[in-house]
Amino acid sequence: MSNCILITGGSGYIGSHTIIELFNKGFEVVSVDNQSNSSINAYESVKKITGKEVKNYTIDLCDLNATREVFKNHQFTGIIHFAAYKAVGESVEEPLKYYHNNIASLVNILALSKEFGVKNLIFSSSCSVYGNVEKLPVDENTPLPKAESPYAYTKQIGEVMIQDFCKVNQEFNAIALRYFNPVGAHPSGLNGESPINKPNNLVPIRTGVAIGKMAQLTVYGGDYPTRDGTCVRDYIHVSDIANAHVLAMGYLIHQKNSSNYDVFNLGTGNGVSVLEAIYAFEKVSGQKLNYKIGPRREGDVIAVYSDSAKVFKALNWQCEHDIESMMDTAWKWEKSMANS
Ligand SMILES: NC(=O)c1ccc[n+]([C@@H]2O[C@H](COP(=O)([O-])OP(=O)(O)OC[C@H]3O[C@@H](n4cnc5c(N)ncnc54)[C@H](O)[C@@H]3O)[C@@H](O)[C@H]2O)c1
């Protein structure tokens, strides 16, 4: 059997870290990325870390015929589908852009999996499917409310599409992984988050402020009903997320799954407030961050963190990085970008 995995969005933040871990475990990898939010340089970083070259196709996955050519050229054992637009705020401003890209690319991936007999899929979902939850920590049985944004809705729809596809294609196996808040960078300092579009997530903004790329960090809301008034999130190191994908793919390949569709949360289980994360960053970097508490931001959930018991048990997965290691590696990456 081939051990070649198709990674969509492989030059992106989580995709490139997952390629590193797949190479480390002996898999072959082919990546498809249209470079809409990433640079081809990510593959250079992967090569520096692993010594291995990524075979990449610069193709838009919404283009069915171009994507079909990739499937003709390789025999895939599995697919990890990362490619998507991911900026929540932008999805509110430009909903059709998100519905088109995130849904059409997944339709094509499913159709081509059927056409070429690919049996295993891991799908990047998000804790944003839970919206504002009443009971914390949140587990996979929590009913999903109406999505807070078009982005979150594309993840809810994506999960339903895969589930429906699995119902009528019993030989097809899929797992949706709902990530909480991926942060940090490869411990080598050679790979990290480097989006083409403006960073939306807290940690790249924070390291950007510390290095002087941005003037000030705004913390949106200091009057929430949380222990220090700021939002609470479940930050998780990107390499821990990447490892979970390798384990999930192995779980499907070795048919350890009892049902052909399943969902797992990927979070550490620890809720950390925005201010606590800032203090952790200041501690490991020795930098004082220029931040201010601003007004609440529309669409932000107050607190969300994961009950990850299901994934810890099924995949025998554990998180190796704590919040300080997440901030330390992110800072190392920011400094290495500044010196390059
Ligand atoms: N980073 C997070 O905070 C987070 C949280 C939860 C879920 N996710 C999901 O995880 C996945 C990966 O996120 P990421 O942080 O690595 O994002 P990213 O933007 O760094 O990577 C996504 C990659 O997909 C590519 N891409 C997008 N549309 C494409 C298309 N039509 N054809 C080909 N390539 C395309 C982009 O160029 C980019 O390289 C996404 O599906 C995202 O929604 C991310």
CB of 123 sitting under 6 A from ligand 1:
no
Omega within 30 of 0 (cis) for the link into 137 = yes
Task: Give the pLDDT score at 91.
Answer: 93
CA distance 146 to 234: 21
pLDDT given at position 103: 98
Reported as a pLDDT band with limits 50, 70 and 90, residue 260 is very high
User: Is the CB of 34 inside a 6 Å radius of any atom of ligand 1?
Assistant: yes
Q: How is the chain split into domains, by residue range?
A: 4-184+235-267
Query: Does the pLDDT of residue 18 top 80, yes or no?
Result: yes
What are the tens digits of pLDDT across the range 158-177?
A: 999 999 999 999 999 999 99
Least confident of 9-18, 77-86, 187-196, 263-272: 187-196
For the cut 70, the answer to whether the pLDDT of residue 7 exceeds it is yes
Which residue's CA is minimally distant from atom 7 of ligand 1?
Answer: 126
Ligand 1 near 262 CB (within 6 A): no
Cα 21 to Cα 50, 116, 136, 149, 318: the distances in Å are: 9, 26, 31, 32, 15
Is position 151 annotated as part of the catalytic site? yes
Q: What is the pLDDT of residue 202?
A: 66
pLDDT for the residue 199: 64
pLDDT of residue 337: 83
- Percent of the chain exceeding pLDDT 90 equals 85
Q: Is 79 in the pocket of ligand 1 (CB under 6 A)?
A: no
* 301, pLDDT greater than 90: no
Q: Using the mean position of ligand 1's atoms as its centre, give its distance from the Cα of residue 264 in Å.
A: 18
Distance 8 CA to ligand 1 centre (A): 9
pLDDT of residue 339 exceeding 80, the answer is: no
**How far away, in angstroms, is 228 Cα from ligand 1 center?**
31
Instruction: Tell me the average pLDDT across 212-239.
Output: 91
- Is CATH 3.40.50.720 the right assignment for the domain spanning 4-184+235-267? yes
Q: How confident is the model at residue 52 (pLDDT cuts 50, 70, 90)?
A: very high
Tell me which of 57, 151, 235, 251 is the catalytic residue.
Answer: 151
Among 123, 183, 127, 87, CA closest to 305: 127
Spatial contact of 179 and 129, defined as CB atoms under 8 Å apart: no
Q: Per-residue pLDDT averaged across 178-191, rounded?
A: 96
- Atom 10 of ligand 1: nearest residue by CA position: 124
pTM: 0.96
The better pLDDT of the pair 214, 37 is held by 37
| Beta carbons of 19 and 82 less than 8 angstroms apart | no
- Residue of the nearest CA to atom 6 in ligand 1? 126
For position 195, what pLDDT does the model report?
A: 75
pLDDT of the residue at 134: 85
- For ligand 1, is residue 76 a contact (CB within 6 Å)? no
Ligand 1 centroid to Cα of residue 176, in Å, is 15
In 3D, which of 292, 322, 282, 311 has the Cα closest to residue 140?
311
Q: Is 265 in the pocket of ligand 1 (CB under 6 A)?
A: no
Q: Would the CB of 35 count as within 6 Å of ligand 1?
A: yes
Q: For ligand 1, is residue 60 a contact (CB within 6 Å)?
A: yes
CA of 38 to the centre of ligand 1 (A): 9
pLDDT, the chain, mean: 94
What pLDDT is recorded for position 194? 84
Distance 225 CA to ligand 1 centre (A): 31
